[in-house]
């Protein structure tokens, strides 16, 4: 078995705003696994590195991919416990190759078109009017759960925006999740959490920056609003680190991004540990191309995830790939009659 990788740059249709800044493009890497005697027949995956979030996103990333490439050629394992995005991509490529190179990673009712995945509608940060317009559009498009990015514009404006939503849609009509991306401080976190709780918010992701587990544990114990860990899970590559994180912080929920939390194997372990502790969970994509999104959707279905999931639709990029996954209202589905086209990867600059 051989491995090859190719860089690819995704471009946003509209700039994406978070508390960490504005994004106009997103780099990623495609990986493929193949038999050297039949190189046109390959399994595809995405090493979805995320600069600013992935700890491995540094000048050594390509060298690590090259190391994996060389080790695969000689049948030698590579320690990827600190390279979550590469683990994610390699698992995809191997699964696809093992399943016949047809874009199927986790066969299930979802991949034969008999089930769908409910997702939340993501509302990117913007000014007040932009966000209100985006919220109204999502509701018109059939979403029953919205995730609002907060923590970047004026706090009073953000509360005003959420109050506007609640004045039009009760919590029974519309579930609201908010994601602060670590945008709160310990000085203002509890008052803000109490204010959000009065607006029937379902939960908040990562109110303060990751890397302060004792402070996060305090917030989880004191907050009237359920707290979900997101960035706090990144970089925890061993079962001991994962158990320690959950046992110390005791969150209400954890959010699994396979490209950031150890691939599908790491995500499955996180879910098992959460279930043992009565901690809720859902699965979220992290601005992967449609290659990674296709695989995540299939894994999500195989894990029998409940409630709205945080999966993207690939529609934010101008130059995405084509897969059988599509969106109808708030339901993500897989069209088994739509053949996965591998020709779209042939002209990439593959490193073998």
Is 257 among the residues known to form the active site?
Answer: yes
DSSP strands (E only) in the chain: 2-18, 21-35, 38-47, 117-118, 121-123, 145-149, 175-179, 203-205, 227-229, 253-256, 280-283, 325-328, 331-334
For 117-334, CATH number? 3.20.20.120
SS3 284: strand
Tell me the DSSP string of 137-152.
HHHHTT-SEEEEE-SS
The pLDDT score that the predictor gives to residue 96 is: 98
Phi, psi of 307 (to 5 degrees): 80, 180
Rounded CA gap, 22 and 125, in Å?
9
Is 147 among the residues known to form the active site?
Answer: no
70 CA to centre of own chain: 29
Catalytic member of 147, 149, 156, 250:
149
User: Tens-digit pLDDT profile for the chain (352 aa)?
Assistant: 899 999 999 999 887 655 556 788 999 999 999 999 999 999 999 999 999 889 999 989 999 999 999 999 999 999 999 999 999 999 999 999 999 999 999 999 999 999 999 999 988 777 888 888 988 999 999 999 999 988 767 899 899 989 989 999 999 999 999 999 899 999 999 999 999 999 999 999 999 999 999 999 999 999 999 999 999 999 999 999 999 999 999 999 999 999 999 999 999 999 999 999 999 999 999 999 999 999 999 999 999 999 999 998 778 899 999 999 999 999 999 999 999 999 999 999 999 8
The answer to whether 2-103 and 117-334 have equal CATH topology is no
The residues that bridge with 334 in the sheet, in sequence order, are 325
Distances (CA, A) of 269 to 198, 222, 258: 34, 27, 11
| Residues 217 and 250: beta-carbon distance below 8 Å | yes
The yes/no answer on whether domain 2-103 falls in CATH 3.40.109.10 is no
Residue 52's contacts (CB-CB under 8 Å, 6 or more residues apart) are 20
| Residues 65 and 48: beta-carbon distance below 8 Å | no
Catalytic member of 257, 329, 346, 349:
257
Domain spans, the chain: 2-103, 117-334
């Amino acid at each position: 078995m051989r491995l090859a990788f190719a860089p690819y740059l995704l471009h946003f249709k509209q700039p994406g705003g978070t508390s960490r800044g504005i994004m106009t493009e997103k780099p990623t890497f495609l990986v493929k696994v193949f038999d050297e005697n039949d190189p046109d027949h390959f399994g595809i995956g995405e090493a979805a590195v995320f600069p600013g979030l992935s700890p491995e996103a540094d000048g050594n990333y390509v060298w690590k991919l090259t190391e994996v490439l060389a080790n695969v050629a000689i049948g030698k394992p590579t320690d990827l416990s600190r390279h979550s995005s590469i683990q994610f991509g390699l698992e995809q490529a191997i699964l696809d190759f093992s399943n016949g190179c047809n874009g199927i990673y986790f066969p299930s009712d979802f991949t034969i078109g008999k089930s769908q995945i409910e997702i939340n509608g993501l509302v990117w940060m913007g000014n007040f009017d932009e966000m209100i317009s985006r919220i109204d559009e999502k509701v018109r498009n059939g979403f029953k759960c919205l995730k609002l990015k907060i923590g970047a514009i004026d706090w009073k404006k953000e509360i005003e925006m959420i109050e506007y939503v609640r004045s039009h849609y009760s919590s029974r009509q519309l579930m609201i999740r908010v994601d602060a991306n670590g945008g709160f401080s310990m000085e203002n976190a509890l008052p803000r959490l109490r204010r959000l709780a009065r607006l029937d918010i379902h939960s908040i992701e990562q109110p303060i920056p990751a890397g302060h587990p004792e402070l996060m544990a305090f917030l989880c114990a004191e907050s009237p609003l359920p707290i979900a860990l997101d960035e706090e899970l990144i970089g925890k590559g061993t079962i001991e680190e994962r158990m320690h994180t959950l046992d110390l912080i005791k969150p209400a929920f954890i959010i699994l991004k396979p490209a950031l939390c150890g691939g599908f194997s790491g995500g499955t372990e996180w879910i098992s540990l959460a279930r043992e502790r009565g901690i809720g969970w859902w699965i979220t994509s992290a601005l992967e191309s449609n290659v990674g999104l296709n695989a995540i959707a299939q894994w999500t279905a195989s894990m029998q995830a409940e409630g709205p999931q945080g999966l993207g639709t690939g529609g934010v990029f101008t130059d995405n790939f084509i897969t059988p996954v599509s969106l109808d209202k708030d339901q993500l589905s897989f069209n088994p009659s739509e053949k996965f086209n591998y020709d779209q990867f042939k002209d990439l600059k593959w490193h073998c």
